[in-house]
Amino acid sequence: MAVNIEIKARATDFLRQRELAGGISDSPVELLEQTDTFFVVGNGRLKLREFADADAELIHYWRPDQAGPKKSEYTIVPVPDPALLKSVLSAALGTRGVVRKRRHLYLVGHTKIHFDEVVDLGEFIELEVVCSTQEQQRQGPIVARGLMKQLEIVEADLIDRPYIDLLGN
């Protein structure tokens, strides 16, 4: 399983915060259109992520529902036939709900900064500090908090659950 240290927050000034991210990003912003279909599972969360360009991946992850930097463990598998897999998983497990979003992706070091426009929810910021070593896992919360400052994210902006839960699904 791969590991990230993550935070999720409501964006208080989406355009300004994106501008701040652009000023520290190591590469140009990438725009992604994503549809995440969540399935009913007993352990963690399971979603099929479909991209506008027809690529897709199955993602199983576990992370605690808490505000602030938290460890997320995940596995991502490329999916060559998303329609077929969605049909099979829906029949076998049941569909919990769907999250549609437009994501602006910035890269800063080994951190992914996502500015998400989520249908029926609003504007959010996610930080994913990618941790390939134990040392990066220990430093991850420090990196996340430093980026929170740079992006003007305060504790009151933090949210403790994924979009699918915020949608009430």
Mean predicted confidence (pLDDT) in 133-150: 96
pLDDT in tens, 75-130: 999 999 999 999 999 999 999 999 999 999 999 999 999 999 999 999 999 999 99
pLDDT in tens, 13-55: 999 999 999 999 999 999 999 999 999 999 999 999 999 998 9
**Cα 63 to the center of its chain, rounded Å:** 11
pLDDT score recorded for residue 16 = 98
CA torsion angle for 73, 84, 82, 9 (degrees, to 10)?
-50
Q: Nearest to residue 6, comparing CAs of 45, 40, 32? A: 45
Q: Pairing relation of β-strands 2-10 and 45-51?
A: unpaired
pLDDT score recorded for residue 143 = 97
Residues whose CB is less than 8 angstroms from the CB of residue 99 and which lie 6 or more positions away in sequence, other chains included: 35, 36, 38, 47, 118, 119, 163, 164, 167
